[in-house]
Chain A
Amino acid sequence: MSIAVIRFPGTNNEDDVLRALAQIPGAKPYLVQSRKGLAGLKDADGVVIPGGFSYGDYLRAGAVASVDVIVEGIRDLAEDGKPVLGICNGFQILAETGILQGVLLPNQSARFVCKWVYLKVSEQTTLFTENIENAVLRLPIAHAEGNYFCPEEQLVPLWDEGRIPFTYCDSRGQVTDDANPNGSIDNIAGIINQKGNVLGMMPHPERASRPLLGSTDGLQILENFVRATK
């Protein structure tokens, strides 16, 4: 089905996402430039906001993009129950819009972190993690502001409602401080909205979607996303 892959000025992962989605049967991904506004989302059955440095990450990562006109269209689609996936900068943008709760702060190390990490998939089934519940995935991260934070009153429901599908872990699936690459609260690597159709995650599933890239662990997440657009 039709999947709008949004490119803001400064987005730079759109080609990776388009290629990764294109190999999944039934997916019709297409590039939408953010300046197209609401018209760009007319036929979309789902939306991916890829990573990069939208608007140069000025102000705060994702902040300027979060007030773009096209975001209102993304908000409408999300409210309609259409699947929305924000990867890396896409997650930062979704958090800045308030579509997802919390904020991505500068990494605790104050450094850009670019490496492979392991993710523990939660045992609760979500739209995006069907068939990989409890799995340990190997995906790359590359970000300077991936330090997820939200106040306690939001954190408790996130856990209670099974809306934390991914946490950083070690190769054996142990969620430890040492495995936390950026200081995220409770090792959170991704969260889902209350309705269950919007996922934001810092790791890059599209960069782990074919053997040549060193891992195919991200493919299932993208496949689940594509299935949800139908």
Chain B
Amino acid sequence: MDIIHEGKVKRVFQEPDSPERVIIEFTDTVTAGDGKKRQVIEGKGELACRMSEYLFGYLEGKGIDTHYVKPLSGARLLCRKVAIYPIEVVCRNIAAGSFCRRYGLERGEPLRRPLVEFFVKDDSLHDPLIAKDSIILLGLLEEDVLQFMKSVTLSANYYLTELFRQQELTLVDFKLEFGSTKDGHVVLADELSGDTMRVWDNDSTSVDKDVFREDKGDLIEAYTQLVDSLKMTRPEDVSLRPETVKVIVDPKGGIKNPPGEVTKKALVRLGFSDVEEVRVGKIFKIQLKRPLTSEILNQLRMMSVKLLSNPISEKHEVSLD
């Protein structure tokens, strides 16, 4: 089999019979601290693979598009072939790890709401934190892809948090990577395991890679506990969470907008003399039954053209903000 990519802890092979499929092999290598700390721990690859298999399958079942197709023997998964985006997405529920160091916070401080951060996927730069505007300005992602990733990340956070909660485990934070398929769909890719997330049990003890990172015990024991806990979850008990998106419809430039004109006159009459122009459009808040996918985004664009806007006089925009 041809190797397509060799990462720090995984190898990606071309599936010989299907150009659009790859085989991802999880190795026993475990690294931390930007690759400075590195060890081979027998059995780790298999456990990380089983976690990924379970969690990708679970998220697929909840409507999130992932690259996962099916498990293979050993520490291997059959996946859709994707081009990985150069941005890693991190979602945090509780302060831990680099977030604490960066902002001087105590480990374990709960965040008011889930926080989504972006990092450049580049080992030579040590994967730096990056602002949204910089991502767009540097051309690392299109703005709509970035918004999409954030939305899917928050959906995944909800579903994973609820699943772990069943086993009295707390999802502290996790890292996601996304890729685009040949037909342009943006899907969740890479892995979902103790290597890419922090999970704490009842007394805030890590059952994830922090065990290795901070020399806190036996990593295999922790990962085995995590896999066993996952096997006891009931995915069907986690209810679907509706997602809200906005479609913004605006009168095109050059088209008169009488409602805006009379509104402007009224504002000026009230003394708001700085108002130069007002244009009145519409915002549709659309609640979806399930998480966003590229397919649903396409449907939203179709809705906008077919009914929500009149393309002759209005422009439309799907907003995931």
Contact = CB atoms under 8 A, between A and B. Distances in A.
Contact of A63 (B257, B259, B307): B307
Contact of B258 (A60, A67, A106, A150): A106
Given A59-B307, A63-B307, A67-B306, A149 B312 contact: yes
A103 B256 CA distance: 13
A95 B261 CA distance: 24
Contacts of B257: 106
A162 interface: no
A92 to B, nearest CB: 10
Contacts, number: 37
Given A63-B307, A67-B307, A105 B313 contact: yes
Interface in B262-321: 262, 306-308, 310, 312-313
A215 interface: no
A107 B258 contact: yes
A63 B258 contact: no
B255 interface: yes
A1 B266 CA distance: 52
Contact of A110 (B259, B310, B313): B259
Contacts of A109: 258
A118 B260 CA distance: 29
Contacts of B307: 59, 63-64, 67
B124 to A, nearest CB: 52
A107 B307 CA distance: 21
Contacts of A106: 257-259
B312 A63 contact: no
Interface in A31-76: 59-60, 63-64, 67
Contacts of B312: 102-103, 149-151
Contacts of B306: 67
A103 B309 CA distance: 11
B227 to A, nearest CB: 50
Given A59-B308, A67-B306, A103 B258 contact: no
A103 B261 contact: no
A14 interface: no
A151 B313 CA distance: 9
A110 B308 contact: no
Contact of B256 (A59, A108, A150, A151): A108
B310 A63 contact: yes
A110 B262 contact: yes
Interface residues of A, number: 19
Contacts of A59: 307-308
A145 B272 CA distance: 28
A60 B255 CA distance: 15
Contacts of A149: 255, 312-313
B90 to A, nearest CB: 40
A217 interface: no
A223 interface: no
A143 to B, nearest CB: 13
Interface in B244-258: 255-258
User: In the complex, which of the residues B258, B259, B307 has the most CB atoms of chain A within 10 Å of its own CB atom?
Assistant: B258
A133 to B, nearest CB: 30
A22 B313 CA distance: 38
A60 B261 contact: no
A104 to B, nearest CB: 9
A103 to B, nearest CB: 5
Interface in A77-111: 96, 102-103, 105-110
User: In the complex, which of the residues B261, B307, B310 has the most CB atoms of chain A within 10 Å of its own CB atom?
Assistant: B310
A165 interface: no
A117 B256 CA distance: 23
Given A59-B308, A149-B312, A105 B255 contact: yes
A153 to B, nearest CB: 11
A162 B255 CA distance: 25
B253 to A, nearest CB: 13
A23 to B, nearest CB: 36
20 contacts: A59-B307, A60-B310, A64-B307, A67-B306, A96-B310, A102-B312, A103-B312, A103-B313, A105-B256, A105-B258, A106-B258, A107-B258, A108-B256, A109-B258, A110-B258, A149-B255, A149-B313, A150-B312, A183-B256, A183-B258
Per CB-CB distance, the 3 closest pairs between chain A and chain B, nearest first, are: A110-B258, A110-B262, A103-B312
Interface of B: 255-259, 261-262, 306-308, 310, 312-313
Interface of A: 59-60, 63-64, 67, 96, 102-103, 105-110, 147, 149-151, 183
